[in-house]
Amino acid sequence: MSAPGGGPPPDVAPADSVPGGGSRRAGFAATTLMFGVTLLPVATAAWRAAGEATFPTADHAHLALRALDVGTAHQPLLGAWPSAAFGRPLSGTFNHLGPLHAVLLAPWVRLLGPARGLVTGAAAINVLAVVGIGWVALRHGGRRTALVALAVTSVFTWGLGDAILTDAWEPYQVMLPALAACFLAWGVSRGDLWLVPPLVLAASVVIQTHLSYVYATGIPSGLAVAWGLRARRRATSASAGRSMAAPLLSGAATAIVAWLPPLVEELGPGRGNLTRVWTAFMDQRSLPTVGPARALRMVAAVVALPPAWWRPSLAETFVAGPGESSGLGFGFGGLPSTLRSWVALGLVGTGLVAGAVAARRQRRAGDDPPPSAAGFALVCLGAALLGTARLPIGEPFGLAGHMVRFLWPVGAFSAFALLAALAARDRRGRVTTAGAASVLAVAVAANLPAAPGGPHVPRHADRLAAPTFRDALRTLHAHTPPAPYLIERLGGLRDPFGPALVLDLRRRGGSVFVNDPFAARTFGPRRVWDGRAVRAVIGYRWGVTGPGSLAPPPGTRLLFRRAGLTPEDRARLRRAEDGLVAHLRQHGLRLRVPARLVRVLLPGLPPGDSRRFPGLPAGVARRLVRTSAFGMCVRLKTCELAPGGRRWAQRVADLRDRHRAARLVVWMAPAPRPAHSIGAR
């Protein structure tokens, strides 16, 4: 029998619902308390982050800019330009699939400004995800199951830390929505077709925002709809067609609205983004991939082995380790062994299979079935394994940790499925209720006082550069009244100042153009300069060292200049460099990057072993420690040094990062003569 209107079958009605007005009021109060307590850490994190927010830079500035563009002539049709497209020619570069992330952030950025709007908007998206998780669990298992789901979600948010709960950066923003999509897909697979529209919306947000979630979110969502239709056809009467049509039409309408912008872009002039993404996918077949064996170890590291998806796994699971490396990304040598991974995942899989079998038997016996999330968790695990195995290992970046963040939501949903299967054995529910409530309370209490940042270290250069950019933008306000400006070629993938400058000029009401064709993929095709009149040209250099690097070009007017570290900090840097050079002369170093990349990254190394250098001459060591590539290797833990050397290296890397972040020169040049368009696509 189906519920009226095509809702969930009656056998998924809450088992803990008791007739009577007093019981209903008590149940409503208990449900409200569960949701409120779970959402409290997200709300406090948003309050703390909004009070400490600074003007966004780098990727965050781009997110705020595109959020402000929503509903204007610069309406974004695509997502951000991903790091996976870096290094590809202009004809082959691509973007994330859609603009839904910017659309969701737009009201908050417009209302509260770029700084507070980004963190508040990111928190609001996560609040909706948490509410969706609890709602689906309540709808399909009652308050007991909802309590288990919210307890798991609280542990999940504790593992993320308050910095990520308010971070709009794409790989982190979609972690909670991806978990919500797992719950929604599970509900749809049980025949609850009215969950199709919210599932389509959640899955679209996740997949459009970051391409790495295509397998882990797309496959379970598609299978859930197919299984939901099958379950509804089996359970419904002659009115099945009418009861199924309304939710399916609503889901189709949601999909059309969500995917209309990327489809419009695809059908426009030139090669569309979907075509570019497909071409890049086909090109990646010639690149090395993670493969099934390493994918098994990676999934086991997050799903089945401690610390699993708890804290501090997000900061420590995928970092460089001894042995085989994936380039400048994390090292595969730090992953668990194949045997240990097989055993751990086998235990998790056995538990999920047992839970699914028990649910099927109870359903056949006519009892109220437990929330059979266990079988669907197996589907999510399979999709995560496939998506991980298909990840390409490009150069020189290798496989970055943010490309596999979809494993954390899958791990959390698998844990919920196991706990729900165990809770089904507790007929009276006392042990389940007490245990889940205790976990919920402890996780919330642990998350509330978390210091900003939690286990997550924000992007180093962005954080260090923020004070310099704040002072520079304050100075620029006096020299750049709202007007059309042309920004000279931007500083590339890791440039934090260019997007902040464009955002500031856009926020103050001026038009901004850039003369870099790649900027069409980042800032929108309408911002590529086509020769129209502008007031002036603004140029800058950031983070560049060396003689004359802070001198503006001849014929330009200096607007702002900062030379880096203070004299006291420069003296500290020299002492740290001397200590590190002495260590390298005595002990040498070992690199955990592929041998083919060593000479590319650090060309000054002497001949010898491709990755092991027992002792370096003084001149080579001093040149080495002053390169940005060496600092990157230190931060990514791809340089193996003795304990004393690690301390010197970290101190040098930190001081050099601060030095580069505080080196900035900005100038203004006369407006160029009108020129022909250089093209936007």
Same domain, 359 and 379: yes
User: How many Cβ atoms sit within 10 Å of the Cβ of residue 479?
Assistant: 13
Q: How confident is the model over 36-51, as a mean pLDDT?
A: 85
What pLDDT is recorded for position 605? 61
Please choose, from the candidates 622, 583, 587, 628, the residue with its C-alpha nearest in 3D space to the C-alpha of residue 605.
Answer: 622
Do the bridges between strand 485-487 and strand 512-514 make them parallel or antiparallel, or are there none, so unpaired?
parallel
Q: Are 213 and 97 in contact (CB under 8 A)?
A: no
Cα–Cα distance between 280 and 107 in angstroms, integer?
33
Q: How confident is the model over 370-374, as a mean pLDDT?
A: 67
Average pLDDT, the chain: 78
Instruction: Inform me whether the pLDDT recorded for 675 exceeds 70.
Output: no
Asked if the structure places residue 351 within a domain, the reply is yes
What pLDDT is recorded for position 263? 92
DSSP assignments along 137-204, one per residue: HHHHHHHHHHHHHHHHHHHHHHHH-HHHHT---HHHHTHHHHHHHHHHHHHHHTT-GGGHHHHHHHHH
Instruction: Inform me whether the pLDDT recorded for 182 exceeds 80.
Output: yes
Phi, psi at residue 665, to the nearest 5°?
-135, 135
Same domain, 385 and 476: no
Task: Find the domain containing 138 and state its range.
Answer: 31-447
Instruction: Inform me whether the pLDDT recorded for 333 exceeds 70.
Output: no
CA–CA–CA angle 191, 1, 4 (5° rounding): 75
Structural domain tally of the chain? 3
Asked if the structure places residue 8 within a domain, the reply is no
Among candidate residues 413, 447, 481, the one where a domain is terminated: 447
Same domain, 581 and 550: no
Same domain, 609 and 576: yes
Same domain, 478 and 440: no
The distance of Cα 112 from the centroid of its chain, to the nearest Å, equals 23
Same domain, 297 and 348: yes
Asked if the structure places residue 103 within a domain, the reply is yes
Same domain, 130 and 279: yes
Asked if the structure places residue 403 within a domain, the reply is yes
pLDDT digits (tens, 9 = 90+) for 70-109: 988 888 888 887 776 665 655 567 888 889 999 999 999 9
Q: How confident is the model over 633-648, as a mean pLDDT?
A: 72
Please choose, from the candidates 370, 456, 399, 362, the residue with its C-alpha nearest in 3D space to the C-alpha of residue 172.
Answer: 456
Among candidate residues 412, 447, 482, the one where a domain is terminated: 447
Same domain, 483 and 334: no
Same domain, 474 and 396: no
Same domain, 545 and 606: no
User: How many Cβ atoms sit within 10 Å of the Cβ of residue 500?
Assistant: 27
Asked if the structure places residue 23 within a domain, the reply is no
What pLDDT is recorded for position 9? 43
Asked if the structure places residue 681 within a domain, the reply is no
Asked if the structure places residue 608 within a domain, the reply is yes
Q: 215-229, 397-411, 457-471: lowest mean pLDDT where? A: 457-471
Please choose, from the candidates 395, 402, 417, the residue with its C-alpha nearest in 3D space to the C-alpha of residue 171.
Answer: 402
Same domain, 249 and 107: yes
pLDDT band at 10; cut points 50, 70, 90: very low
Same domain, 95 and 204: yes
What pLDDT is recorded for position 6? 43
Asked if the structure places residue 11 within a domain, the reply is no
